C-alpha cells in the first residue's frame, strides 16, 4: 500500500516537520537568483519596487522569469532524494510508488491523455471563439521558451507532487493512521499554495475551488493507483502544455506561447468544467484501464503498521 511505504523508513512525525523546514530552506536558496536580478533591475535600471508577483513578471523577459522562478524547484528537486535517504532512511522510489520501480508507462499514459485533451480543447475553443485569442507565435521566442519549459516544467511539476502527494501524504498518513485526512489536508494545502497566484486577484476566491479540487483529484489518483506516476503525468502535461500553448496577461506564467487568451475568464470553462466533467472522466479512464477496486478502503481506510514484515 502506498502510504504504508513510509513505515519502511525511520519516520517519527518530528522528522517530517524538520523535512518541511529543509524544503522551505531549499526553496529560499533557489529564490536567490530571482531576488538578486529584481534588485539589479530596481537599482540599475530604474524599475520601481514590485508590489506583487504580477509586477515582478512584468519587469523582465517572460522566458527569463520562467527560468529564474523555476530554479527554486530545481534546488528542492535535487535535495529531495538526499532528504528521503538521509533523514527518513527510505529509498526515494518508496516515496513515489508502491511498485518496485517507477512505472514510466503509467506516467506517459497520463501525460498523453491529459496533454491531448488540453491541446484539442484549446484548439476547439480557438475555432469556436476566435476573438478570444491572439496568435502570438514567434519562432525564435517560442523555441527558447520550449527549451526552458521542457527542462524546467517537469522538474517544477514533479517537485510539487513529491511534496503534496508524496512527502505530506505519507507523513500525515502515518500521523493519523488513516487515508482520508491526508487526502483532504494535502488537497487544501495544495490549493493554499496557489493562493498567492495572480489568477486569484483576477478571478476571485472561487478559483480556489479549482486548485483544491485539482489537488483532491490527484490525491485520489495517487491513493487508488498506489503511486504517484499518474499524478505526475497529469501535472507535467497540464503545466507544460499550458505554458507552451496559451497564456494570459494576468496569469502566474506569462509566456511566449502560441496563443494569448484575451477574453475575460469564464467561471464554467475555467473552474466548473474541469471539476465536474473533465476530472471525473479522467478518473473513469484510469479506473477502467488499471482496474481500480476497493475505493472506500483505499481512500478512507486505516493505515497498516506491518508492511515492513509483509
Q: Measured on CA atoms in the order 39, 45, 49, 51, is the torsion positive or negative?
A: negative
**Residue 295 CA, distance from chain mean position:** 24
What pLDDT, on the 0 to 100 scale, is given for residue 5?
85
What pLDDT, on the 0 to 100 scale, is given for residue 268?
84
pTM exceeding the 0.85 threshold for the entire prediction: yes
What pLDDT, on the 0 to 100 scale, is given for residue 121?
95
Contact indicator for 106, 225 with CB cutoff of 8 Å = yes
DSSP 302: B
Contact indicator for 268, 194 with CB cutoff of 8 Å = no
Mean pLDDT by 10 residues, the chain (310 residues): 83 92 96 95 90 84 94 97 94 95 98 97 95 95 97 97 96 93 97 87 88 97 97 98 93 90 87 94 98 96 63
What pLDDT, on the 0 to 100 scale, is given for residue 309?
36
What pLDDT, on the 0 to 100 scale, is given for residue 306?
55
Helices (H), the chain: 13-44, 53-57, 62-88, 93-96, 104-128, 139-161, 169-176, 180-193, 198-203, 207-225, 229-245, 267, 273, 279-290, 295-300
Q: Measured on CA atoms in the order 296, 299, 302, 305, is the torsion positive or negative?
A: positive
The CA distances from residue 259 to 94, 112, 166, 243, in Å, are 40, 21, 34, 10
The CA distances from residue 109 to 14, 90, 112, in Å, are 37, 27, 5
Dmax (CA) for the chain in angstroms is: 64
Contact indicator for 272, 75 with CB cutoff of 8 Å = no
Question: Which phi and psi angles does 194 have, rounded to 5°?
Answer: -90, 5
40: exposed, middle or buried (Cβ count in 10 Å: 0-12, 13-18, 19+):
exposed
Amino acid at each position: 500500500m502506498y502510504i504504508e511505504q513510509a513505515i519502511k523508513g525511520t519516520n517519527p512525525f518530528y522528522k517530517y516537520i524538520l523535512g518541511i523546514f529543509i524544503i522551505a530552506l531549499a526553496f529560499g536558496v533557489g529564490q536567490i537568483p530571482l531576488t538578486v536580478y529584481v534588485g539589479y533591475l530596481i537599482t540599475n535600471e530604474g524599475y520601481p519596487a514590485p508590489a506583487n508577483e504580477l509586477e515582478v513578471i512584468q519587469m523582465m523577459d517572460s522566458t527569463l522569469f520562467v527560468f529564474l522562478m523555476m530554479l527554486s524547484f530545481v534546488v528542492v528537486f535535487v535535495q529531495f532524494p538526499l532528504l528521503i535517504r538521509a533523514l527518513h532512511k527510505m529509498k526515494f522510489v518508496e516515496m513515489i510508488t508502491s511498485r518496485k520501480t517507477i512505472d514510466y508507462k503509467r506516467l506517459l499514459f497520463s501525460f498523453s491523455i491529459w496533454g491531448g485533451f488540453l491541446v484539442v480543447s484549446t484548439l476547439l475553443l480557438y475555432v469556436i471563439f476566435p476573438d478570444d485569442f491572439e496568435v502570438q507565435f514567434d519562432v525564435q521566442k517560442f523555441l527558447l521558451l520550449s527549451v526552458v519549459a521542457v527542462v524546467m516544467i517537469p522538474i517544477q511539476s514533479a517537485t510539487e507532487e513529491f511534496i503534496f502527494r508524496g512527502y505530506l501524504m505519507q507523513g500525515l498518513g502515518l500521523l493519523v493512521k488513516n487515508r482520508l485526512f491526508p487526502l483532504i489536508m494535502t488537497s487544501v494545502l495544495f490549493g493554499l499554495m496557489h493562493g498567492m497566484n495572480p489568477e486569484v486577484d483576477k478571478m476571485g476566491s472561487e478559483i480556489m475551488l479549482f486548485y483544491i479540487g485539482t489537488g483532491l483529484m490527484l490525491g485520489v489518483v495517487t491513493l487508488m493507483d498506489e503511486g504517484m506516476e499518474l499524478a505526475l503525468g497529469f501535472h507535467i502535461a497540464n503545466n507544460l502544455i499550458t505554458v507552451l500553448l496559451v497564456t494570459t496577461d494576468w496569469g502566474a506564467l506569462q509566456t511566449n506561447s502560441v496563443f494569448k487568451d484575451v477574453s475575460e475568464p469564464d467561471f464554467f470553462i475555467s473552474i466548473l468544467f474541469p471539476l465536474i466533467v473533465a476530472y471525473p472522466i479522467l478518473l473513469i479512464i484510469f479506473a477502467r484501464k488499471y482496474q481500480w477496486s476497493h475505493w472506500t478502503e483505499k481512500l478512507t481506510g486505516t493505515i497498516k503498521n506491518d508492511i515492513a514484515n509483509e
